Amino acid sequence: MRKVRVRFAPSPTGALHIGGVRTALYNYLFARHNGGDFILRIEDTDSQRFVPGAEEYIIEALQWCGIKVDEGVGVGGPHAPYRQSERRDIYLKYALQLVESGNAYYAFDSAEDLSKLRADMESRGETFSYDSKSRGTLCNSLTLPAEEVKRRIDAGEQWVIRFKMPENENVEMDDIIRGHITINTSTLDDKVLYKSADALPTYHLANIVDDHLMEISHVIRGEEWLPSLPLHFLLYRAFGWSDSQPLFAHLPLLLKPQGQGKLSKRDGDKFGFPVFPLEWHAPDGEVSMGYRESGYLPGAFVNMLALLGWNPGTEQEIFSMEELCQQFSLDKVSKSGARFSPDKAKWFNAQYMRTASDSFLASLLVPQLASAGIETSLERAADAVAIIKERATFPKDLLDLTLYMFRAPQSYDEKSVAKFWKEENVAYIRDLRGIFAELEVLEKESAEHLVREWIEAGQLPMGKIMNCLRIAIMGIGQGPDIFSICEFIGKQETLRRIDAALDSIQVA
């Protein structure tokens, strides 16, 4: 069996959205699973739509996801260059080869003429197609005398090379995900392969030539390419490369969370979740949010994306990149489009937050505390984080969840005060303060034990006392185990906060 070599071949026309990231991910996982190579090729054959910064964005996004490029733009390799605009000299030869073998022809019809033709026919309720039926009436090397063709080319007239689609032939194709597909060529048109205007090939030619030259073994791409699969099969055949052509796998589309259609760039702003891995600053100044900037951990993001259209056949849901590489296979990829769910994305992130190490989360928390004017050590932050990490969905939640551990309450939640801060309860707090004051050190287990004994012995109202203590220590009516907090801030600070609360809260 031949060496597995796959490529991710985006066009630098803007930010990569999560559908594109998923395609890259599946290619990468497939390569890793099979001990193959993952190649990054940039398909920038459309000079009109090139967007500055898009290529850098793609590379950075892959890096952030932990998708390592073995070969390609940014890392080089035996088939360099990997940017199609830098390979422009290669393609003309192949286009000409097709003309010579009778599989393609020159066409001189201007873009304006064709769009006019199209508009005319549409107004009559018909559709125009440059195909086997119409090419005999148009301006090309099939209808013009050879000398005239040569004259026009020599005169510098603009031309294009079109594929000469066979007339009535069934193309038999196999797709790894979709199975066997048959298409009759009579429904297909004569696609442009090369344009003299910018001396660049179109996608179809460049794609086939490069996949062949780069020895690509499997093409894994989005379902939107399925309709051009027959053309690609025919191109391989025309070149005489059918025996070595890659196997194809067309991935299902990612759909909008609500409504209809495939996920698009605008959906992010509309529904309030990111559609891009990284924040994207468009050249026109528009900024779109990114998963990274929204606080998603790369592992969670990748995990979520991997399961959108693929599953391992088991009930496992949490996968490291290594596990994904081990378990991924194309025959477990589903056929139907997957609706993207922001809720599930959040759930994955929360799972990754709780399993992240304390020191890692501390490194996220320290700068947040600093911006709130609180300096603390990584160790201290790690201790704080350990108490609350299963309550956080995003890194930004960490500050709110730990602020009261580093700073005495500056106000007291009114509702909680009104409910619990009553004279009889406050009296218990004074007693409790006395108990704490007696302690050598305030340690969670022993302090809790002591307080419980005291409450039980006196048949005291546990809920009221504990809630009042919580108000005094934290200023709010909810949060993690109160004794853990007391231990964290220490005996002296605990007493100080109780005193402050007794002083400043009006008894309800």
Partner RNA sequence: GGUCGAUUCGUCUAACGGUUAGGACAAGAGAUUCUCAAUCUCUAAAUAGGAGUUCGAUUCUCCUAUCGACUACCA
Catalytic residues: 265
- In whole angstroms, the minimum distance from the beta carbon of 263 to RNA comes to 9
Q: Does 43 bind RNA (CB under 7 A)?
A: yes
Q: Does 209 bind RNA (CB under 7 A)?
A: no
The single residue among 27, 103, 202, 294 that binds RNA, judged by CB under 7 A, is: 202
User: Edge-to-edge, what's the strand order for the sheet holding 5-8?
Assistant: 71-72, 37-40, 5-8, 218-222, 247-251, 170-175, 179-184
Q: How many CA atoms lie within 13 A of 374 on its CB side?
A: 19
Q: Does 110 bind RNA (CB under 7 A)?
A: yes
Gap between the Cα atoms of 451 and 348, Å rounded:
38
Residues 6+ apart with CB under 8 A from 447: 436, 439, 483, 486, 487
Q: Does 341 bind RNA (CB under 7 A)?
A: yes
Residues 6+ apart with CB under 8 A from 125: none
Q: Does 19 bind RNA (CB under 7 A)?
A: no
Q: Which stretch binds RNA (CB under 7 A): 22-30, 52-60, 221-229, 295-303?
A: 221-229
Q: Which two tokens stand for residue 468?
A: 């009042």
Q: Does 475 bind RNA (CB under 7 A)?
A: no
Q: Which stretch binds RNA (CB under 7 A): 75-83, 144-152, 295-303, 339-347?
A: 339-347
**Binding positions for RNA, 262-281, rule CB under 7 A:** 262
Gap between the Cα atoms of 135 and 130, Å rounded:
6
Comparing CA positions, the residue from 345, 377, 341, 340 lying closest to residue 359 is 377
Q: Does 357 bind RNA (CB under 7 A)?
A: no
395 alpha-carbon distance from chain centroid = 18
Do residues 404 and 485 lie in contact, with contact meaning Cβ atoms separated by under 8 Å? yes
Q: What are phi and psi of 393, to 5 degrees?
A: -100, -40
The single residue among 14, 19, 290, 309 that binds RNA, judged by CB under 7 A, is: 309
Q: Does 248 bind RNA (CB under 7 A)?
A: no
**DSSP labels for 391-416?**
G-SSTTHHHHHHHHHHS--SS--HHH
The single residue among 147, 154, 243, 315 that binds RNA, judged by CB under 7 A, is: 315
Residues 6+ apart with CB under 8 A from 15: 54, 57, 61, 265, 276, 278, 280, 282, 288
Which residue carries 């509309």 as its tokens?
270
Question: What secondary structure, in 3-state letters, does 46-110 show?
Answer: CCCCCCCCHHHHHHHHHHHHCCCCCEECCCECCCCCCEHHHHHHHHHHHHHHHHHCCCEEEECCC
**Binding positions for RNA, 115-134, rule CB under 7 A:** 118, 127, 129-130
Gap between the Cα atoms of 86 and 305, Å rounded:
32
Q: Does 334 bind RNA (CB under 7 A)?
A: yes
Q: Does 327 bind RNA (CB under 7 A)?
A: no
User: Is 2 or 472 the residue whose CB approaches RNA more closely?
Assistant: 472
Q: Does 16 bind RNA (CB under 7 A)?
A: no
Q: How big is the site for RNA, counted in residues (CB under 7 A)? A: 82
| Site map 410..449 versus RNA, x via CB under 7 A | ----------------------------------------
- In whole angstroms, the minimum distance from the beta carbon of 345 to RNA comes to 8
Do residues 300 and 354 lie in contact, with contact meaning Cβ atoms separated by under 8 Å? no
Q: Which stretch binds RNA (CB under 7 A): 269-277, 313-321, 361-369, 496-504?
A: 313-321
**Binding positions for RNA, 148-167, rule CB under 7 A:** 158, 160
Q: Does 311 bind RNA (CB under 7 A)?
A: yes
The single residue among 54, 366, 381, 482 that binds RNA, judged by CB under 7 A, is: 482
The single residue among 195, 380, 419, 422 that binds RNA, judged by CB under 7 A, is: 195
Which residue carries 């009006």 as its tokens?
506
- In whole angstroms, the minimum distance from the beta carbon of 324 to RNA comes to 14
Q: Does 46 bind RNA (CB under 7 A)?
A: yes
User: Is 79 or 178 the residue whose CB approaches RNA more closely?
Assistant: 178
Q: Does 81 bind RNA (CB under 7 A)?
A: no
The single residue among 252, 290, 295, 475 that binds RNA, judged by CB under 7 A, is: 252
Q: Does 330 bind RNA (CB under 7 A)?
A: no
Cα dist. 3→38, 189, 226, 244 in Å?
11, 34, 24, 12
- In whole angstroms, the minimum distance from the beta carbon of 321 to RNA comes to 18
The single residue among 51, 480, 495, 500 that binds RNA, judged by CB under 7 A, is: 480
- Pairing between strand 104-107 and 160-163? antiparallel
85 alpha-carbon distance from chain centroid = 26
User: Is 101 or 341 the residue whose CB approaches RNA more closely?
Assistant: 341
Q: How is residue 135 annotated by DSSP? A: G
User: Is 268 or 479 the residue whose CB approaches RNA more closely?
Assistant: 479
Q: Does 508 bind RNA (CB under 7 A)?
A: no
Amino acid letter, residue 180: H
The single residue among 65, 338, 366, 398 that binds RNA, judged by CB under 7 A, is: 338
Q: What is the largest CA-CA distance in the chain?
A: 112
Q: Does 49 bind RNA (CB under 7 A)?
A: yes
- In whole angstroms, the minimum distance from the beta carbon of 335 to RNA comes to 4
Q: Does 10 bind RNA (CB under 7 A)?
A: yes
User: Is 291 or 483 the residue whose CB approaches RNA more closely?
Assistant: 483
Centre a 10 Å sphere on the Cβ of residue 306 and count the other Cβ atoms it contains. Answer: 21
